[in-house]
Amino acid sequence: VYNISEFTRQHPGGSRVISHYAGQDATDPFVAFHINKGLVRKYMNSLLIGELSPEQPSFEPTKNKELTEEFRELQATVERMGLMKANPVFFLLHLLHILLLDAAAWLTLWLCGTSFLPLLLCAVLLSTVQGAPASWWNHLHFQHHAKPNCFRKDPDINMHPFFFALGKILSVELGKQKKKYMPYNHQHRYFFLIGPPALLPLYFQWYIFYFVIQRKKWVDLAWMISFYVRIFLTYVPLLGLKGFLGLFFMVRFLESNWFVWVTQMNHIPMHIDYDRNVDWVSTQLQATCNVHKSAFNDWFSGHLNFQIEHHLFPTMPRHSYHRVAPLVQSLCAKHGIEYQSKPLFSAFADIVHSLRESGQLWLDAYLHQHRSETQRGVRKPPGRRGGAVGTGM
């Protein structure tokens, strides 16, 4: 048992991710997120305030003890198999692949001219090799991994309720409360306008700079500036300033579409709710699904088609996902947990289907409450004015 009341402000992963487990057993996320556990435990010694006595329960009543123990055995097996160790050759080849695509984008314009088709091909190639600071990514992504699809804890679903009504439970709750920030019954249509096309150009583009400056990540800022300087000097001589700006925003538009579809195909169609403090495996499996393995799917999604394995072992190098997947499937089958895997375009379509379904659930709850209140108002005794007050329940 550790007292981290003061430590949360110094936590390298940020205070929010550690606060998501306040008052809960954080054993499994601790193991999942910290690679060098010996080093971390050395610094934690000063925070230790006691240990549970033998008669005290070591598992919270909301968590599946047998499943948790077997998953911890699987973690030990994965460690022994060396699946948590990165293969330098794999990542060297991946870096060379990125540099090759980057060079191909420039050569396309240099050899084929700057008409629309070469410009579009150049933008497609560049959109596959863009990146962002690791500090910003880890800050948001570890929160997402700690409590995926948990309202008010997972930053990836912060779009609920101001833009979208997500999940069956939260959508019905919004309807019953008569909240209507947007016409949610049409959200599967306006998703194509304010979802994939707009996230990177209108939000991430400036928020990343705000993040690194606010947290004084000067090395990250230097790398970001060097990228913008390099791409400016590389393409302005070929395209001029206006042409370069057109190319840049075209790249961000394409990149934003790719990013949203690939990252949300595994989550938006899944269970979305408040944090119910269930065990680590159940938390991840109810919020994630896989897309079938294939050479294209692996490359196109950056191995995020193995989203289940990525969530259960968030520090595992991605070239190991296919090796641990059969072990995870066996664990799920033994405990009757659904291990979802689907084709790529079915996963894309499920985003739209789930938005349409949750939007309709919101509308049904919203209109039902409205009708109930109207009926109660009609039945009021003569001589009294005004409508009935709903409970919102």
Pairwise CA distance, residues 342 & 340, whole Å: 7
Residues 6+ apart with CB under 8 A from 264: 156, 351
Write the DSSP string, 45-85. GGGB-----TTS-SS-TTS-HHHHHHHHHHHHHHHHTTTTS
Task: Please report the pLDDT score of residue 369 as a whole number.
Answer: 61
Q: What is the predicted pLDDT for the residue at 199?
A: 81
pLDDT, position 52:
83
Amino acid occupying residue 109: L
User: How many Å apart are CA 387 and CA 343, to the nearest integer?
Assistant: 51
| Residue 372: predicted pLDDT | 52
How far apart (Å, rounded) are the C-alpha atoms in residues 208 and 200? 10
Check residue 371 and give its pLDDT.
Answer: 56
- Paired tokens of 338: 């659904």
pLDDT of residue 389: 32
Digitized pLDDT (tens) for each residue of the chain, 393 residues in all: 888 888 888 888 888 888 898 888 888 999 999 888 888 888 888 899 988 888 877 778 888 899 999 999 999 999 999 999 999 999 999 999 999 999 999 999 999 999 999 999 999 999 987 777 888 888 888 899 999 999 999 999 999 999 999 999 999 999 999 999 999 999 999 999 988 888 877 788 888 888 889 888 899 999 989 989 999 999 999 999 999 999 999 999 999 999 999 999 999 999 999 999 999 999 999 999 999 999 999 999 999 999 999 999 999 999 999 999 999 999 999 999 999 999 999 999 999 999 999 999 999 999 986 555 555 554 544 444 333 333 333
Q: Please give the pLDDT value at position 1.
A: 84
CA distances, 225 to each of 103, 169, 220, 230 (Å): 20, 43, 9, 9
List helix spans (H) across 265-339. Answer: 280-285, 295-301, 307-312, 321-334
- Residue 390's pLDDT is what? 32
Number of separate helices (H) and strands (E) present in the chain: 17, 2
Predicted local distance difference test score (pLDDT) of residue 393: 32
Report pLDDT for 258.
92
Give the pLDDT score at 375: 54
